[in-house]
Amino acid sequence: MNPAVATLTYAYADSTAVVGPLATYSEPHSYDLCEEHAMRLTAPRGWDVVRYDGEFAAPEPSHDDLTALAEAVREAGRPDRPVDGPDPNAAAGRRGHLRVLPDPVAE
């Protein structure tokens, strides 16, 4: 998976798709794209694509991003962290929705 470097937004009234630099905040109906998809994006017939003319570059992680990641890892690794037990309201014997399947090639 490649990092997002561009943001796609639509101007429906103008039938225009706009691919520009990566947005600094989340907005409904906008989509972050990697460089390959930002450069290759096409729009429906009758629509225009306005594309940023400069180079797309992945943003450097900010201090806030690194701090949040470090705190999440630290919290997950705490030995005194409470562990959720089985849900007493769940049906007896019910398993989660994810399962491990054997690799047919390894057998």
List, edge to edge, every strand of the sheet that includes 16-21: 30-34, 4-11, 16-21, 48-51
Measured between alpha carbons, how far is 53 from 21 in angstroms, rounded to an integer?
Answer: 10
Measured between alpha carbons, how far is 29 from 50 in angstroms, rounded to an integer?
Answer: 16
What local confidence, expressed as pLDDT, does residue 65 receive? Answer: 65
Residues written for the chain: 107
Per-residue pLDDT 10s for the chain (107 aa) are 788 899 999 988 999 999 999 888 888 889 999 999 999 999 999 999 999 887 887 777 666 766 777 777 777 777 776 666 666 665 555 555 556 667 666 55
Q: Where are the domains of the chain?
A: 1-79
Inter-residue contact 31 to 8 (CB < 8 Å): yes
* pTM of the predicted structure, to 2 decimals: 0.54
